Amino acid sequence: MKHKLKIFIDFSEGVLPHEAAYLLKKNRIRDLEKEQILLQVCKNAEEFYSAEEFDESIDKRKYAYIKKWISEKLKKADVDAHLEYISFTEKQILTDTITSAQEKKLQEFMASYEHTSFYFQKFYELVREYQDYLLVRFRYKDCDITEDFLERNLEYYQKDLQVRNDLFLATKDLTRQYTSQSLNTKPWESRLLEYLHNERLDGLNTYHSFVRLVFLYFNYKEYTKARDVFDYMDTRFQNGEMYSRRVLFNYYANRVILHSNLKELDKAEYYAHLSVKQDNSDTLFYLNNLVAILLKKNKNKEALAILTGNYKLFKSSFNHHQKLGFATHYLRSLVRNKNFLIAENFALNFLSENKKNVFEHRWSRFFSNYLMLLTATEKPAEVIKVTKKYNLLERELQAKGNKNFIPKIHWYFSLANYLNGKYSEEKLFEELTMAINNFSQLDAEGLKALNDFIERLSFALPTFFSNLKSHFNQKALIH
């Protein structure tokens, strides 16, 4: 049966928690039933797992009013909608098609425009373009308006340009550190914090400072510090600052990573579900984050259903990094749901279609899942063949010395040699323990990850792996 309020319900389900907080601050509605509808929309946005049904006895026109009211409030605060205005107006100026009404609107903006606005730099450049348009037409009176704006905001604009350049340099260093793990980016921390809390900067630089700080803290696994800057931004978002749905989705996706690393999986799942509420160029990234959390919580069927439902998106993407992440999660989900034949065919096809890109980013995660699949399906000869074909042992050696790194490729290869009759049990024990000792020192977190990995492998040799786990745990107690 068609629901009488289906259009409104679909609309309300798209409202995000920070949008709800902002709408409540803007609430000046005096009609009790309209206010009741708004309050319920905002409550459901915060607690979307247990959303309450709307009262169908209320006049549908009041639902229509609230839908329009919400849309208008959010559009007015939306920085990306303002960017569209700037881009459109710039085109009108450059093509000599700007109307008198559009000029009046632009001049009104100049009179009240704040240098802390999100796209202040873009607007400043628009005004400069407009002044050039006026000069060649000898419209000196209007030039006084533009000149006043440009002079009054020149210092802020120049500072914003300097910060933007600094952020570009920081981004280069942080991304290099992410891929090489060798660059020291700690000197950027104090400067990025200064930019984040500088209330004289434009919103875009402020938000980009936040993103780079999060990147830095994630690189150094300083998640408590990361939480502090997230909480700071959370308050500003609730006030409607730097608002756009695009920005909020990016923010939610990063909170997924934060709470995941803090082992707060329920919060991570909450933000992951929020992040996939809208399709955009980062949807595959958001989906990968959600599935990673579901797999950590052993929600394997739900994870596989989401991956299967978004398979077309995966196939059409040009982002090789996110495609590899999706492929890894898909392979892992298929194995956990015991769809071994589909998993093996998928892995072979993926490697055939992506052999030029598969080693660009975090390749070891894909191959460790592939080797787990081959081990689970009792194909040790294939494990050895794949390992040698792609030089996986040599590639894994590049990670030697990384903190808490577990040489899974070496383990699968050694286990395959044992299962293939080439190693004795003593030789297998020696190879596995030596691989751990040679690659890295494990702290408590690393030891837990190793124990989890041993548990996943124990199906092959239950007694052997139980003894191996005891060996590593006893060794950790001694140290």
31 and 177 together in one domain = no
Predicted confidence (pLDDT) per residue in 225-277, tens digit? 999 999 999 999 999 999 999 999 989 999 999 999 999 999 999 999 999 98
% of the chain at pLDDT higher than 70:
98
Residue 309 lies in a domain: no
pLDDT of residue 4: 79
91 and 68 together in one domain = no
170 and 87 together in one domain = yes
Which pLDDT band, with edges at 50, 70 and 90, does 55 fall under? very high
Residue found under tokens 């700071």: 232
- Quick one: average pLDDT of 147-169? 97
Nearest to 160 by CA among 208, 128, 126, 193: 208
Residue 277 lies in a domain: no
Using alpha carbons, list the distances in angstroms from residue 351 to 146, 310, 347, 366, 399.
58, 19, 6, 10, 22
237 vs 243: CA distance, rounded Å: 6
Pair 163, 195: CB distance under 8 Å? yes
pLDDT of residue 476: 63
Q: Enumerate helices (H) and strands (E) in the chain, giving the number of each.
A: 25, 0
Length of the chain: 479
CB atoms within 10 A of CB 115: 18
pLDDT of residue 73: 96
Total domains present in the chain? 3
Residue 132 tokens read as 């050039």
Using alpha carbons, list the distances in angstroms from residue 137 to 109, 110, 140.
21, 20, 8
72 and 87 together in one domain = no
- Quick one: average pLDDT of 90-110? 96
DSSP characters over 220-275: TT-HHHHHHHHHHHHHHHHTTTT--HHHHHHHHHHHHHHHHHTT-HHHHHHHHHHH
Look at residue 478 and tell me whether its pLDDT is greater than 60: no
Residue 328 tokens read as 């890894």
Look at residue 2 and tell me whether its pLDDT is greater than 50: no
Q: Which of 243, 270, 300 is the last residue of a domain?
A: 243
Residue 324 lies in a domain: no
- Quick one: average pLDDT of 87-107? 96
Residue 416 lies in a domain: yes
164 vs 167: CA distance, rounded Å: 5
φ, ψ dihedrals at 116, nearest 5°: -90, 0
Look at residue 181 and tell me whether its pLDDT is greater than 80: no
Can you give the residue range of the structural domain that contains 43? 6-77
Nearest to 313 by CA among 290, 284, 347, 291: 284
pLDDT of residue 343: 97
pLDDT of residue 64: 96
Which pLDDT band, with edges at 50, 70 and 90, does 1 fall under? very low
Residue found under tokens 């919060």: 267
pLDDT of residue 377: 95
377 vs 296: CA distance, rounded Å: 23
∠ CA 180-183-189, rounded to 5°: 125
258 vs 357: CA distance, rounded Å: 28
Report how far Cα 60 is from the mean position of its chain's Cα atoms. 38
60 and 130 together in one domain = no
Nearest to 74 by CA among 13, 6, 24: 24
Helices (H), 6-78: 6-13, 17-25, 32-46, 60-77
Residue 150 tokens read as 């440009």
Least confident window among 2-11, 16-25, 164-173:
2-11
Residue type at position 301 = K
Helices (H), 390-461: 392-397, 408-419, 425-439, 444-457
Cβ contacts of residue 133 below 8 Å, gap of 6+?
93, 96, 98
pLDDT of residue 182: 73
Q: Which of 220, 243, 266 is the last residue of a domain?
A: 243
377 and 437 together in one domain = yes
Residue found under tokens 């009609």: 31
Look at residue 36 and tell me whether its pLDDT is greater than 70: yes
Nearest to 119 by CA among 148, 86, 145: 86
Pair 86, 121: CB distance under 8 Å? no
pTM (predicted TM-score): 0.82
432 vs 469: CA distance, rounded Å: 11
- Quick one: average pLDDT of 328-350? 96
Q: What is the mean pLDDT of the chain?
A: 93
Q: Which of 77, 98, 127 is the last residue of a domain?
A: 77
100 and 158 together in one domain = yes
Predicted confidence (pLDDT) per residue in 227-236, tens digit? 999 999 999 9
39 and 101 together in one domain = no
Predicted confidence (pLDDT) per residue in 391-447, tens digit? 999 999 988 877 888 999 999 999 999 999 999 999 999 999 999 988 877 888 899
Pair 150, 172: CB distance under 8 Å? no
Residue 55 lies in a domain: yes
pLDDT of residue 374: 97
367 and 424 together in one domain = yes
381 and 399 together in one domain = yes
Residue 470 tokens read as 């005891």
283 vs 246: CA distance, rounded Å: 11
Residue 343 lies in a domain: no
222 and 370 together in one domain = no
Look at residue 56 and tell me whether its pLDDT is greater than 60: yes
Pair 116, 80: CB distance under 8 Å? no
First-to-last CA distance in the chain? Answer: 66
DSSP characters over 182-198: ----TTHHHHHHHHHT-
106 and 141 together in one domain = yes
337 vs 306: CA distance, rounded Å: 13
Which pLDDT band, with edges at 50, 70 and 90, does 279 fall under? confident
Residue 403 lies in a domain: yes
pLDDT of residue 399: 81
Of 52 and 344, more confident: 344
Predicted confidence (pLDDT) per residue in 108-127, tens digit? 999 999 999 999 999 999 99
Cβ contacts of residue 230 below 8 Å, gap of 6+?
214, 254, 255, 258
CB atoms within 10 A of CB 121: 19
Residue 404 lies in a domain: yes
% of the chain at pLDDT higher than 90:
84
